[in-house]
Amino acid sequence: MKIVDLSIAIESGLPSDPPDYRPYIDYQDHKKTAKDMLEYFGDATVEDLPEGNGWAVEFLKISTHGGTHIDAPYHYYPTMNGGERAWTIDEIPLDWFHGPAVVVDFRDKPDGYKVEPKDFEEYFKKIHYTLKPGDIVLVNTGASKKWGTAEYLSSGCGMSRAATLWLVNQGVHVTGTDAWSWDRPLPIEAKDFDKTHDKELIWEGHRAGAVKAYSHIEKLTNLESLPVTGSHFFCFPIKIKKASAGWIRAVAFVEEQDDSEKTV
């Protein structure tokens, strides 16, 4: 069994998020914390600590949508399933967060391409696969190659409302992308809105969750390391009360072939 890590590391100040949404990490090393540590140990002095070392600790300023994370239906709209109160991240059934992974390779789609149901239908026909309830669909847009740069924000294709609902109607509860957003890059959606003033374009992939509940993962990486089918994916979120999302350590378990099963 091979475990494949599909999460980006949370890093401080990277331009891969808008300025107001960038994580910041305050690193407190062993020397810096020595005096603070002594407050918990009576009359001890710095001389009582080995080489004057305290403990290492970090303080983070980060949104629930920083790093690799999974969105709750509440992020998309106050209601889901046509009127029910939308679930926050602590309310979603845990069995949603693991299942067979199905990797969709859309790296051939240009940045800003709007994925429609026909794109998924053609892809699954090509790989001779029919989606099953509980499958977790992970879309590789190629955007993760731009992680760490400002270009990441405008990279990758994105899902239309119709395409999102098409997946959910196959019994899929959880989807994911290596891009910044499940939707098309927001600067591209904004340009299209300015041209058409069609309000249905605004955040359309996300808003599908108001019609039918689902969750999606953003900022995945390393999806090309997975087989198209055959791996088991885990994406349990940190349990944050009444939150719109939770950070995950996205991993997949992949069965390794015995030497006798490998082909030359």
Asked whether residue 167 carries a pLDDT value surpassing 80, the answer given is yes
Length of the chain: 264
CATH number at residue 250: 3.50.30.50
CA-CA distances (angstroms) from residue 152 to 41, 113, 145? 47, 15, 8
Domain for residue 10, yes or no?
Answer: no
Whether residue 155 contacts residue 179, with contact meaning beta carbons closer than 8 Å, is answered with yes
Res 256: pLDDT? 86
Q: 176-208: per-residue pLDDT in tens?
A: 999 999 999 999 999 999 999 999 999 999 999
Domain for residue 106, yes or no?
Answer: yes
Res 48: pLDDT? 98
Q: State whether 110 and 158 are in the same domain.
A: yes
Q: 57-110: per-residue pLDDT in tens?
A: 999 999 999 999 999 999 999 999 999 999 999 999 999 999 999 999 999 999
Res 258: pLDDT? 57
Q: State whether 95 and 36 are in the same domain.
A: no
Residue 264: band (very low, low, confident or very high) from pLDDT cuts 50, 70, 90: very low
Q: State whether 136 and 33 are in the same domain.
A: no
Q: State whether 180 and 55 are in the same domain.
A: no
Q: State whether 48 and 162 are in the same domain.
A: no
Q: 99-138: per-residue pLDDT in tens?
A: 999 999 999 999 999 999 999 999 999 999 999 999 999 9
Residue 39: band (very low, low, confident or very high) from pLDDT cuts 50, 70, 90: very high
Number of structural domains, the chain?
2
Domain for residue 221, yes or no?
Answer: yes
CA-CA distances (angstroms) from residue 97 to 17, 48, 237? 25, 47, 8
Q: Which domain holds residue 140?
A: 69-257
Query: Among 13, 11, 12, 58, which Cα is nearest to 32's?
Result: 58
The average pLDDT across 157-174 equals 98
Res 261: pLDDT? 41
Q: State whether 30 and 126 are in the same domain.
A: no
Asked which of 61, 83, 107 is the last residue of a domain, the reply is 61
Residue 51: band (very low, low, confident or very high) from pLDDT cuts 50, 70, 90: very high
Res 27: pLDDT? 98
Domain for residue 172, yes or no?
Answer: yes
What span, in angstroms and rounded, lies between the C-alpha atoms of 1 and 255? Answer: 5
